[in-house]
């Protein structure tokens, strides 16, 4: 007898269907094996698919697992946001509680609702505490790997690994034009990321003509994705990097609007809030979402 598995595509960090970053969501994965989850993620062929299972943690509502088309990953921001949006809007969690809490491989991820006139406007996830570390690699090598000139690298800021759950390489770039024109050497970039145990390589710039506070692109061939359109995990890590490196004033609260995905026609907007907390900070990443596709998979 075949298993019937309900699935959804949820476009995260957008208010437009076919914008932002599409995530697969399987809200009832309790009868699936890890192999079946990987096969489903490969079939849906999105950067990540999230699977919800019962949690044994009294402080969590669900366990959440994430798969790319090729492997399981510990955390995915846009799939978390898309899953929370789906649970709030289609499964009426917005009427049950002010938030939903997922148990993941990196710990508990609370996601709260942001409403306006009793309508869901966005959801906001709190990521794990940020940290940064140095990397022994030259700007010249990084520029070559991501398809930039070395003069495109903004040497006012350090190239470092930042983490709010999984590690991302932060690459400061002088202009949006340079970021848009970047053509990474994906095979070589994959080798470098695997060597340093980096999940993605994240280009960012403050050159946005006032449209956003920051503009970004994200490359991640080592987890089976050439380019991730709009990246909740990497932009949360970016917020932590900017705070911990004192690029944004410490002991002040910051609210950033970040644009991403425009180069590959999946434009999206993220809202990153950085709240000081002792020597560290609390990072929240918020955005809207749209349920674009729903259907059934027959196993």
Q: Which residues are catalytic?
A: 48
Quote the strand ranges of the chain, DSSP E. Answer: 4-12, 21-26, 49-53, 62-67, 72-73, 99-104, 107-116, 119-126, 131-133, 160-163, 167-172, 200-205, 214-220, 225-227, 254-260, 268-277, 280-287, 289-298
Cα–Cα distance, 102 to 29 (Å, whole number): 14
Q: Helices in 45-149 by DSSP H: which ranges?
A: 77-89, 93-96, 139-146
Residue position matching structure tokens 């080592």: 222
Cα–Cα distance, 162 to 158 (Å, whole number): 11
Q: Helices in the chain by DSSP H: which ranges?
A: 34-44, 77-89, 93-96, 139-146, 176-181, 186-196, 232-244
The candidate with the shortest Cα–Cα distance to 271, out of 282, 281, 283, is 283
Q: What angle do CA 116, 127, 217 make, to 5 degrees?
A: 90
């Amino acid at each position: 007898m075949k298993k019937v598995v309900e699935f959804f595509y949820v476009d995260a960090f957008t208010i437009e269907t076919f914008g932002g970053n599409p995530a697969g969501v399987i809200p009832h994965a309790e009868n699936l094996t890890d192999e079946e989850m990987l096969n489903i993620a490969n079939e849906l062929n999105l950067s990540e698919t999230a699977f919800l299972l019962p949690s044994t943690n009294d402080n969590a509502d669900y366990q959440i697992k994430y798969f790319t088309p090729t492997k399981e990953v510990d955390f995915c921001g846009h799939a978390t946001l898309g899953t929370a949006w789906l649970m709030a809007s289609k499964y009426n969690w917005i009427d049950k509680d002010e938030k939903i809490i997922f148990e993941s491989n990196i710990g508990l991820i609370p996601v709260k609702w942001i409403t306006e006139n009793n309508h869901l406007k966005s959801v906001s996830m709190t990521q794990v505490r940020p940290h940064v570390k140095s990397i022994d690699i030259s700007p010249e090598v990084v520029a070559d790997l991501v398809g930039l000139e070395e003069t495109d690298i903004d040497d006012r800021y350090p190239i470092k690994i930042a983490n709010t759950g999984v590690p991302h390489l932060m690459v400061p770039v002088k202009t949006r034009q340079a970021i848009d024109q970047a053509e990474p050497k994906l095979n070589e970039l994959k080798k470098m990321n695997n060597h340093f145990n980096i999940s993605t390589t994240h280009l960012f710039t403050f050159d946005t003509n006032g449209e956003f506070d920051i503009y970004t692109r994200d490359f991640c061939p080592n987890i089976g994705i050439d380019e991730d359109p709009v990246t909740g995990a990497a932009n949360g890590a970016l917020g932590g990097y900017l705070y911990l490196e004192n690029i944004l004033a410490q002991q002040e609260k910051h609210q950033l609007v970040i644009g991403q995905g425009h180069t590959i026609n999946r434009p999206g907007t993220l809202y990153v809030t950085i709240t000081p907390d002792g020597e560290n900070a609390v990072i929240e990443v918020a955005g809207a979402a749209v349920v674009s596709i729903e259907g059934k998979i027959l196993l």
